[in-house]
Structures are given as C-alpha cells and as structure tokens.
A = this chain, B = another copy of it.
Amino acid sequence: MTETPPLLPLLYEDVVRRALLEDLGRVGDITTDAIVPADRTARAVILARAAGRIAGVEPALHAFRLLDPRCRVDVRLRDGGDAAAGAVVARVEATARAVLAAERTALNLLGHLSGIATATRDVVARLRGLETRVADTRKTTPGLRALEKHAVRAGGGSSHRYGLDDAVLVKDNHVTLAGGIAEAVRRVRGSVGHMVKVEVEVETLSQLDEALAAGAEAVLLDNMDLPTLREAVRRARGRAVTEASGGIRPENVREVAEAGVDLVSLGWLTHSAPALDVALDVEA
C-alpha cells in the first residue's frame, strides 16, 4: 500500500464546484441557514463505515474549502491508503454552515471514488503472485473520468488510454471500414505521431496474427475462451503487450489472468462498483 500521486486541484475543482452547486441550488442549505448562526464553527470527522481502499480525499475536502476558504483539514488517510471499518479519513474544522452544506457533496465524491478503488484493490488482490496488471477502460461515469481513473490507480490498477485522442485502439468497426487489419494499421501509422501507441482489438487467432504482422504494439484479446487466450499469449509474447477484455468480473479474473496476459481490463471497475460507505460526524 503506497500513496498515489494526487491530481492537481486545477483538474478537478470544476467538478467539485458543479457538484456543490447542484446540491446548493439557488439559495443553499435553507435548513441549516434557518437554524445555525453564521458565526458558529464546527469540527467534524469523516469516517469509513466499511473497510476499503480510499480515493478522492482531496476532491472531497475541496468541497469544504469552497464554502469556507479558512477551513482547516487534517488528512489521516491519503488516496491509496486502506481504511478499516470505522477508520478516520480526515478531520475538518470550518463554519458549521460550511460543514453541513458541503457534507453530502464531499461524501458522494469520497464514497464513489473509494468504491472504485476498493473494487480495484480486490481484483488486484485476486491476482496475487501473477504479473498481470488490472486496467480500467473508457466505460466511466460521464464527467468523472479523470477522477475515476485516478481511483483505479489508487486501487493498484493501471490506466488504459484516457480518451479517443491519446492512443489508438483499432476495433472491429475500424477494420471493417478499412477493409482489413493491415490496412487499418497502415492508415493509422501514417497519420498519428511517434508518441502514440497502437493497439488492435482481435477476436480470433488469425486476426491476432494479422495484427502482429501489421506491427500492433498491443493487442486487445476480446472475449476469447481460455485455450484460445493461452495460445494468443504464446503467439504475442515478445511482440506485443497482451490485454484480455470482455466480460471479466472479479469472479473469473484470476483464471483469465492465469492465461498469461499482461493486462486484464474491466469496465466493471468504473461503471458498476458499489460506493464505499462513508460518513461525517459533527463532534460535540
């Protein structure tokens, strides 16, 4: 367990701001405003109610900072850290109104991202002893890709491409439209720069051979049965990075990895992992 380099606040502050404004609406927390004097301060503790891998601490705390620039925070668990059930993630001291108005936004961020980190950690744990890395996909929640991929890294996972523009992935539709894998790769290579890697998605061994011959630097082995997958790994060894994908869940990830692939990628990590249960308590 090691810390994961945090994202620059500039990269997520608009996400936090929008999330806060979405909760505050036009006039903010009418319950708290009616009850709590403006000059009252409060101390609160943010906890993990269930055990899990933490991610999103800084974005979550940013919600309090946006409502009270003078708030003070004490971070006890950084992204990539493991929380036992009941563990303190951070303490916050701010105006009572800021604490109560930012609470839900902060928890929604922390719970969602820690849920992804925890799910990733659990998948990574299932591969103990193997070289295979666990990668994310582009199947992320709209608006949260950078934070979700960060959460996957906090869980011990590895990042696949961030979007459509930073790496090439030639898929079946591209092959069909180009008239073959070789031609598709040729067109791509003539178009993209020297810092761009090219991966080709293949479903069969003959497609794999074609991709390797065309110079693919990585191959996405899509939905192959285990014997085929093993043979694919054998053929690609030393020639291209191998990635297994398609229908991989925690339950079957180890048998897929044992086929020898360099990576397994799971959309499930970002589109379906349940949130980690986190809470905020105002201290007496």
Interface residues of A (CB under 8 A from B): 5-8, 10-11, 15-36, 38, 40, 66-67, 96-97, 100-101, 104-105, 107-109, 111-112, 115, 133, 135, 138-146, 149-150, 158-171, 173-174, 176-178, 184, 187-188, 190-197, 199, 218, 241, 243, 262-263, 268, 271-272, 274-275, 282
How many copies of this kind of chain does the complex include? 6
CB<8 Å pairs between A and B, sample of 6:
A5-B191, A25-B166, A29-B164, A31-B188, A141-B141, A160-B194
Which B residues are in CB contact (< 8 Å) with A171? Answer: 31
**CB–CB B195/A166 < 8 A:** yes
Chain B residues in 8 Å Cβ range of A274: 268, 271-272, 274
Are the C-beta atoms of B67 and A173 separated by less than 8 Å? no
B8–A34 CB distance below 8 A:
no
Cβ 8 A contact of A26, one of B18, B160, B165: B165
CB-based contact B160/A111 at 8 Å: no
Q: Are A7 and B27 also in contact (CB < 8 A) when A96-B177, A142-B144, A196-B197 are? A: yes
Q: How far is the CB of A40 from chain B (nearest CB, A)?
A: 7
| Inter-subunit contact B169/A35 (CB<8 Å) | no
Q: Which of B25, B31, B169 contacts A162 (CB 8 A)?
A: B25
CB pair A29 B165 closer than 8 Å: yes
A78 to chain B, nearest CB (A): 9
B112 lies within 8 A of A146 (CB): no
Question: Which B residue sits closest to A158, measured CB to CB?
Answer: B193
CB distance from A122 to the nearest CB of B (A): 15
> In the complex, what's the smallest C-beta–C-beta distance from A188 to chain B, in angstroms?
4
Tell me, in angstroms, the Cα distance from A171 to B197 when the chains sit together.
20
Q: A32 with B218: in contact, given A143-B144, A165-B162 (CB under 8 Å)? A: no
B contact residues around A241 at 8 Å (CB): 194
Cβ distance A221 to chain B, nearest Cβ, rounded Å: 13
Q: Are B174 and A32 in contact (CB under 8 A)?
A: yes
Bound CA–CA A167/B38 (angstroms): 20
The residue that A20 contacts in the complex, of B10, B24, B28, B158, with Cβ under 8 A, is B10
